[in-house]
Each structure stands twice: as C-alpha cells, then as structure tokens.
Chains A and B, each alone.
Chain A
C-alpha cells in the first residue's frame, strides 16, 4: 500500500466534499487515490518555478451586457423542480445550531 494518501486524509477530504463513505469505500478510495497521485508524481517533481500557470485556454476578458430588463425563466417552473418548496421559496431542514 502506498503512503501517498492516508486513510485519515481520505476521511478528512470526504468531509470537505460533503460525502459520507463506508469503511469499505474508505479503504478502496485510499488505495485508488494513491494510485492516481502516484502517477501525478511526474509533475509533482517537475521544476516549473519560472512557468506561469494557465487556468484557461482562451485569453478571456470579462464580458458585459447592456443593463436591460429581459424575460427570465418562470419562477414556478424552477420551484416545481425543487425537492421541497413553499411560499415561492426553497424549503430546507433546520440550519441553525449545526456544527460548521
């Protein structure tokens, strides 16, 4: 078993990603993610200090549009897709009092 990523790190990352993994899933992911990170060692060891990063293939500039009123998607149609909606709002279980 590789030590590229530990079982505890997998549990931590799952929490960050809002995923709950069973013990078998944790074992499988620990091994599989380690394999991928093992492969990524080829770029991890690369000396690219002087190379600027590229986050996007196009030289993007912000795109503005004129500030004019336009029709938008019907609110009822959007709310109809919600698992739970009430009084023109999305309804969720309690939020306050949770651990962050």
Chain B
C-alpha cells in the first residue's frame, strides 16, 4: 500500500495507524534479521505516535498528509532521547538533546518514526560495508550490497518495512542505494530541506532527501520535509516546492538532454556497464515517444567531478569531524592528558574509511598542498557549475544513469578505495552544483537486479524533474522497461 493511500485510509478512519504500524513491525520481525536495514526499531516512539494519530482521527482532527505512515530515518538524523549513532562507535550510546527539523515536520504531518536505519559510518561509503554495526543487505538478493551510504533506508523501503524513508545525499547517498534497491530516491536542491539536526559530513554538499516506492509518495514526503527553516542558515527562504499537483503534466515539448560523458559517449567516463547505458537510452527514447525533444549534451567537466569531490568532501569532513574529541559527547578513551585522550578516543572510535577521509582532507588542506588540491578542486566546482548552466540554456532536464552498475557483491570493492568511489561518478556532479536530481527504477540489468535512471535539473526545478520521472514511472509500469 502506498504512503498516500495509507494516509488517506487513516484520515478517513478506515484504517488504524496502530494496525498499520503492527503490520510493518511484523514484516521487520520476519526479515530484518537477514536484511539489517535498521540499527534500531523505535517501537515505543512509533506506538505512541500511532496512538496519537488514531486519537486525533477519533476526535475529528486531521493528523496531516502522512497520517499513520511509517517512515524509516537514517541514523545520522538527530532524534531526541533516542540513540543516533551514524553507525560509528564514536557515537554509540549518545542520546541527542534535540530533534532534527525533519523529525519535527514528520511528526507534525502525522508520520510514524519506525526506526533508525543503517549507513556507512558518518555517511562515508557506497555499500554500507563501512558501518561499525555490520552491513545491510539488498532485499532483491541478499548476497549483494544495498548501496550506500543510505543503504539501510533504501533496503527498508525495498523490503516493505516502511513505505517511506529519509536519507542524506552528499555525493549520491540517496540516489545510488535507491538505484541498487529498485526504489525512488531524491536529492533535492541544496537548501530545500533543512539540515538542522543532520549530523554534518560535508556541509556544502549534504542534503536530506526522500526514499519511496513511487514518485507521488516521494513528492508528498518532500512537500512535508521541505521549506524554510530559520535554524539552518543555508535553508532557502521559500516554502517547500509544490509537487503533487504537477506530476501529471507530461513532457510534451520539453527539452531533454542525455549527458554524453555519462551515457557511453566518446571521451566519457569509463566503467559504466552496457546494460545500464542501454536502459538509460531506453528511458530517453520513451521520453521522446511521449513528446519530449531529445538531444545529446556534453558536460565536459562532469568527468572531473569525482576528483574534485574526493578532495572537497574529505576536506570539509576533516573539519566537521574534529568535534569528536571525547570531551562533550560520545566515546572517551582515558589518557593522562587531554591531548592524548583526544587522540586515543578518535583512534578507537572512528573506522578505517572515516580515518582515511579525515587523513585525505587534512592532507588536501595542509600547508603546501592547499593550492594544488583543495584550491584546484574549488575551481573545478566552478567549471562544473558553468557547464551545467550552459547545458540548461539548451535543455530543461538532463538524463544519465544513477549508478555505473547494478548492485555488487560484498567485499568486491573494499580493497581499493577508488574502486568504491567511482560508484558515485554519475551522482556527484549534482552535489557539487547544488542542483536537484531524482533516481527512478527503470527495468533490470543482465543479472536481473534493478537499474535506476537519473533525471537532473537546474536549481529548484523539482516540479520539472518529478514530472519527467512520473512519465518514466508510467512507461515502466506498462512494461516499457523490459
């Protein structure tokens, strides 16, 4: 049952929020031992929220657009008095003293927070294999990764543990796992969703986004969590985009560009699998058949995004993660002096990938290397923004694959960090530019695993990319992605 149908049934008094919660808890009890989507199932909180929703309906009050809808929340989102670990030993046992803005907004909309989902430690990774609490597994094939870093959220939605989930996307961490798990994932425009209460990874790139099984469900979730928040100074001072009303507009006359460099074109990114390129081309053909005007668009600097990102994101992370020093919260390993205590706590609390990124960022920012690496990366970011601006003079939206491949096996890419990082090559450019992008399931690969197609648009073009995605969703539903 979709989130919208569930909310409608609860608002109409046809279904009880408590019953819906119990159904989802039963599914989690049956299968999450195998999937490990959740670090924590918040049954107590969920039950009290569900009872409040049922009481509101009984009293004739409207609980809101997500009445009784269970939502799984990535475990880097602060929940007051409820563990928020970032899947790191350094935050094990920490109880945030406040709720993130998205948690407040979900509560006000009648949603039920059903649990905190697993992630790569501090959202650094593309497979959830970097979680200190063990990886999540792909519900379509448990020998494969669910993607990452929001792999637990993607797996929760794909397994039917919750119709909706919240993730965060710094370099593709919502879209890539959505692609690998066969669900919808959105990275909104930077600043559309408040980051207040999202544990910071790379502040100029981080953005919270929805997971859902349909475009309409993703739309209602983004309408609920989006919009200005004075507690986040990077929040765009406008209301959330209005999406549900525009989903059915169609693409007749719309200008659609295929990103040559990410779709098997000459001089493009290597390693994008032929079955993934084929599905992307098939999606573009479907849009053309639906009335869109299609062209090939070159975004030459997109190919530089990977290098720029893996200097900028670690640089920002090395600064953000300096707060974990064993003084105010989290793990402390005792030592004779404060300096030694800082080092002992950080060395024991952080996992390998987090240490690697802190090291990389510290190096890129250090004397003698700042100009050559970090400074250069910031200039490449300008080139990427210029290339996108030029592209959006010619087309309304761009299309590319979301992930270079379908879901891969555990351990396949853990030995060499670059092999893992390249998973983000199609998603990173939108984080560097701050633009929105959506991944929608479009058929399966040669291995039978889901493939996601990515629709990108200029800043605050969420209504447009959701409209395009809806057309592709209809095509896939009618068997047009086989």
Among B307, B338, B417, the residue within 8 A (CB) of A40 is B307
By a CB distance below 8 angstroms, the chain A residues around B310 are 36, 39-40
Which residues 36-83 of A sit at the B interface, judged by CB distance below 8 A?
Answer: 36-37, 39-40, 42-44, 46, 48, 51-58, 60, 62-63, 65, 73-74, 77-78, 80-83
- The reply on B418 being an interface residue by CB < 8 A is yes
Find out whether the CB atom of A57 lies under 8 angstroms from the CB atom of B380. Answer: no
By a CB distance below 8 angstroms, the chain B residues around A58 are 190-191, 234, 236, 434
Find out whether the CB atom of B363 lies under 8 angstroms from the CB atom of A5. Answer: yes
Find out whether the CB atom of A48 lies under 8 angstroms from the CB atom of B376. Answer: yes
Find out whether the CB atom of A43 lies under 8 angstroms from the CB atom of B380. Answer: yes
Contact with A along B413-449 (1 / 0, CB 8 A): 0001110010000000000111100000000000000
By a CB distance below 8 angstroms, the chain B residues around A16 are 362, 366
Find out whether the CB atom of A98 lies under 8 angstroms from the CB atom of B339. Answer: yes
- The reply on B233 being an interface residue by CB < 8 A is yes
Q: Identify which of A17, A37, A97 gathers the most chain B CB atoms within 10 Å of its CB.
A: A17
- The reply on B238 being an interface residue by CB < 8 A is no
- The reply on B244 being an interface residue by CB < 8 A is no
Find out whether the CB atom of B318 lies under 8 angstroms from the CB atom of A17. Answer: yes
CB distance from B67 to the nearest CB of A (A): 29
What is the CA–CA distance of A72 and B346 in the complex, to the nearest angstrom? Answer: 29
Find out whether the CB atom of A19 lies under 8 angstroms from the CB atom of B347. Answer: yes
Find out whether the CB atom of B329 lies under 8 angstroms from the CB atom of A81. Answer: yes
Among A48, A60, A81, A99, the residue within 8 A (CB) of B97 is A81
CB distance from A97 to the nearest CB of B (A): 8
Find out whether the CB atom of B332 lies under 8 angstroms from the CB atom of A44. Answer: no
Find out whether the CB atom of B327 lies under 8 angstroms from the CB atom of A20. Answer: no
What is the CA–CA distance of A27 and B344 in the complex, to the nearest angstrom? Answer: 20
Find out whether the CB atom of B378 lies under 8 angstroms from the CB atom of A55. Answer: yes
Beyond A54-B382, A57-B204, A82-B327, whether A73 also contacts B97 by CB under 8 A is yes
Find out whether the CB atom of B328 lies under 8 angstroms from the CB atom of A10. Answer: no
Find out whether the CB atom of A95 lies under 8 angstroms from the CB atom of B337. Answer: yes
Find out whether the CB atom of A13 lies under 8 angstroms from the CB atom of B378. Answer: no
Find out whether the CB atom of A53 lies under 8 angstroms from the CB atom of B230. Answer: no
What is the CA–CA distance of A98 and B336 in the complex, to the nearest angstrom? Answer: 10
Find out whether the CB atom of B335 lies under 8 angstroms from the CB atom of A44. Answer: no
Number of A-B contacts (CB under 8 A): 168
Contact with A along B9-39 (1 / 0, CB 8 A): 0000000000000000000000000000000
By a CB distance below 8 angstroms, the chain A residues around B230 are 63, 65
Find out whether the CB atom of A42 lies under 8 angstroms from the CB atom of B307. Answer: yes
By a CB distance below 8 angstroms, the chain A residues around B318 are 17
Beyond A54-B385, A57-B204, whether A46 also contacts B332 by CB under 8 A is no
Among A18, A53, A54, A60, the residue within 8 A (CB) of B346 is A18
Beyond A43-B308, A92-B338, whether A81 also contacts B94 by CB under 8 A is yes
Q: Identify which of B234, B307, B433 gathers the most chain A CB atoms within 10 Å of its CB.
A: B307
Beyond A44-B373, A52-B382, A81-B97, whether A36 also contacts B343 by CB under 8 A is no
- The reply on B350 being an interface residue by CB < 8 A is yes
Beyond A90-B328, A93-B335, A99-B339, whether A17 also contacts B382 by CB under 8 A is no
Among A32, A43, A94, the residue within 8 A (CB) of B337 is A94
Find out whether the CB atom of A35 lies under 8 angstroms from the CB atom of B433. Answer: no
What is the CA–CA distance of A18 and B366 in the complex, to the nearest angstrom? Answer: 14
Find out whether the CB atom of B338 lies under 8 angstroms from the CB atom of A94. Answer: yes
Which residues 360-406 of B sit at the A interface, judged by CB distance below 8 A?
Answer: 360, 362-363, 366, 372-373, 375-383, 385
Which residues 153-206 of B sit at the A interface, judged by CB distance below 8 A?
Answer: 190-191, 204
CB distance from A75 to the nearest CB of B (A): 10
CB-CB nearest 10 A-B residue pairs: A57-B434, A53-B378, A83-B332, A48-B379, A54-B381, A51-B379, A17-B362, A81-B329, A20-B347, A54-B382
| Selected A-B contacts with CB under 8 Å, 26 pairs | A5-B363, A9-B363, A16-B362, A17-B358, A19-B355, A33-B363, A39-B307, A39-B418, A40-B307, A43-B376, A48-B376, A51-B382, A53-B375, A54-B379, A54-B381, A54-B385, A55-B204, A56-B204, A57-B204, A57-B434, A74-B97, A83-B332, A93-B336, A93-B341, A95-B339, A97-B337
